[in-house]
A and B are shown apart, each in its own frame.
Chain A
Amino acid sequence: MTDPELEQLAQRLGARPAERLDVERTAQAVLARLREERRRPVAAWVWMQPTWLKIAATAVLVLGAGLVMRGLVHEPQVSTAWVAPIRDDLSDLTAEQLREAMRSLEQPLISEGPGAAGGIETGLDGLSADELRALLRTLEG
């Protein structure tokens, strides 16, 4: 096959599908899609792009995994920090230190109402060191 014959053949290539193409219908379909895109807000279009969806899904997974890991890592530390030292060290604390510990533990109760707050404050002052230790152990459960 010569070069001109090959070029002639190439020029015929795809001629039939092109002839069958309904150009008017194609133009109307293109215009309809362009109109639809113009109506759609730009932000919605951006977020509909697959890349953004993938990034968003990855971010959600990473955040979720981070929260789960944080919960697993921190929870035991929190419980030992609040319970173990108090249980172990009660015998070494003075009455004043015990009252201070009680006040810090009872802080949420104190803030619940003026009447309750005053009662607890007053009651702690009147307790001995042993009574305070016993009360602390009770509060620890």
Chain B
Amino acid sequence: MPQAEPVAAAPAPPSDAALIAAWQGGDEQAAAELVHRHARALARFLAGAGAPAADVDDLVQETFIRAFRGVGKFRGQCRFRTWLLTIGGNVLKDAARRAQRAPIVPLGEDLRANDGDPHERAVAGEAEARLGEGLVRLPRMQREVFLLRAQQGLDYEEIAAALGTSPGAARVHYHHAVKRLKEYLA
């Protein structure tokens, strides 16, 4: 029986830093790869922070445009994705200011998902919507710390580096956010 040839290990995908350097050198595909890697996480963050579902696509695009414009200022103090999410927070704030209305979490379309038990789906959708409503009532710092920690799974060191605060302060913001959200959801 012939022995199977050892499969060559697939080359490790380029790091974000390598893709950023390639983009700065004029490689468009590097920019496209960064969009592919981080667009969905960014969309989740924006939607969680109160972006209307219909605007998420535009806000994601705008965030990437701003990030690529200002990528020279990115010093690697945190991960590229974390930095991108903080830019997304600024984009969302600017969009809300332009629209002269408070960001809202849309209910209708999210509740019309067509998988799983309709009752469970409705209950889950309602809970998410309530959480979204609670989040938009929080101060921006608490909201972003909560999302970066609970939704994106980042540690306090990373969150603090991205938001320009200390890990201790980030922890305090998170606990305040949790307390107020629990009160709202009770």
Contact = CB atoms under 8 A, between A and B. Distances in A.
B31 interface: yes
B186 interface: yes
Nearest to B68: A34
Nearest to A13: B48
Interface residues of B, number: 43
A35 B151 CA distance: 33
Contact of B32 (A11, A21, A22, A31): A31
Which residue among A23, A24, A30 has the maximum number of chain B CB atoms within 10 Å of its CB? Answer: A30
Interface residues of A, number: 30
Interface in B144-186: 146-147, 150-151, 153, 178, 181-182, 185-186
A43 interface: no
Contacts of A29: 61
Interface string A26-63: 11111101110100000000000000000000000000
B138 interface: no
Contacts of A13: 44, 47-48, 128, 131-132, 135, 147, 151
A33 B124 contact: no
Nearest to B50: A14
B113 A16 contact: yes
Contacts of A6: 131, 150, 178, 181-182, 185
B43 A21 contact: yes
A21 B128 contact: no
B35 A27 contact: yes
Contact of A10 (B35, B51, B131): B131
Contact of A23 (B39, B110, B113, B132): B39
A10 B48 contact: yes
A16 B53 CA distance: 9
A30 B56 contact: no
B46 A14 contact: yes
A10 B146 contact: yes
Nearest to B67: A30
A12 B150 contact: no
A21 B60 contact: yes
A88 interface: no
22 contacts: A6-B150, A6-B185, A10-B48, A10-B147, A10-B150, A11-B150, A13-B132, A13-B147, A14-B151, A17-B43, A18-B56, A20-B53, A21-B43, A21-B57, A23-B35, A26-B61, A27-B31, A27-B35, A30-B64, A30-B65, A31-B31, A33-B65
Given A16-B47, A22-B57, 16 more contacts: A11-B150, A13-B44, A13-B47, A13-B151, A17-B46, A18-B56, A21-B57, A23-B35, A26-B39, A26-B57, A27-B31, A29-B61, A30-B61, A31-B31, A33-B61, A33-B65
Interface of B: 28, 31-32, 35-36, 39-41, 43-48, 51, 53, 56-57, 60-61, 64-65, 68-69, 109-110, 113, 124, 127-128, 131-132, 135, 146-147, 150-151, 153, 178, 181-182, 185-186
Interface of A: 1, 3, 6-7, 9-24, 26-31, 33-35, 37
